[in-house]
Structure 1
Amino acid sequence: MYFGIVTTTYAFSFFTPTILKQLGWTAVRAQVMSIPIYIFAMALSLATAVVSDRLRHRFAFTLAGCLVATVGYILLLCQQSIPVAARYFALYAVTGGGFITQAILLGLVSNNVAGHYKISIAAAVQVGFGNCSGLVASNIFEEEAPT
């Protein structure tokens, strides 16, 4: 699960400037317009982490994040026939959903393993394997760019 959601995060980092540039902005303006997306995703991720910790429940938040990101991906698949504002909203949905799920999955592993040595090894394996998804995301970008 973590590998898949980190692939979304990496791919989003590659695709966001390209998608924003297609909205008619210059390259510099496209980079600047990606900043609010990341601020929104950070705020959403922190709020979700606090709520899931208070409720002591992770799974529903993981599914909710995946659902939000899926809505964004559906909008991006239809990007030729939807207005610019909907495409920009889709970027918020993909990033917000991905960041929610990524943070929750990091906590989920720590909650399901007993002993501090096992937790540290499990977290390291999870992050190490998840970061290999950068290879997948870069190949996706190479094949799918510029759309």
Structure 2
Amino acid sequence: MAVALGVGVTEISALGELRQDGPLTPSELSRRLGLTSPSVTSLLDRLESAGLVVRQRHPADRRSVLVRLTGGADAALAAFFELFSDDVAAAVESSDPDHVAELATMLGSIAEAMSARANDRDSIARELAERVARYRSGSRPPDGPD
């Protein structure tokens, strides 16, 4: 998607946030993307130059702006997601129904586990601190799947 639109992965992340919940202020994009304010300004300059976003005065706060997708960007993102959905549908339709059911069960279990973890900030903070300390002491993280 990034290559087709001629932008980077961070720009695609910003476009996704805007498509999902936009329009957004630059400070909200900064928070969501984990970028500094100057980085978001540069990112928005690039997206605006590419014709993918516009900045407009915030109707309720004259000191702020809202960032919106252009019609062209919204149409391009909709087309990309439609292509991706078509690819997934084609793969599911050509697969053994038992395999699809097994995959659906597994993905459901993964989603439940990730949701439970995401909603337990104390546990995440504790476990991350323990793992970081272990890795800093010389223990290597496990390698990814082979």
| Shorter-chain TM-score above 0.5 | no
- Whichever structure has more helix as a proportion of its residues is 1
Structure with greater contact order relative to length (CA < 8 Å, sep ≥ 6): 1
Using structure 1 for the length normalisation, give the TM-score. 0.27
Q: Which of the two has higher C-alpha Rg?
A: 2
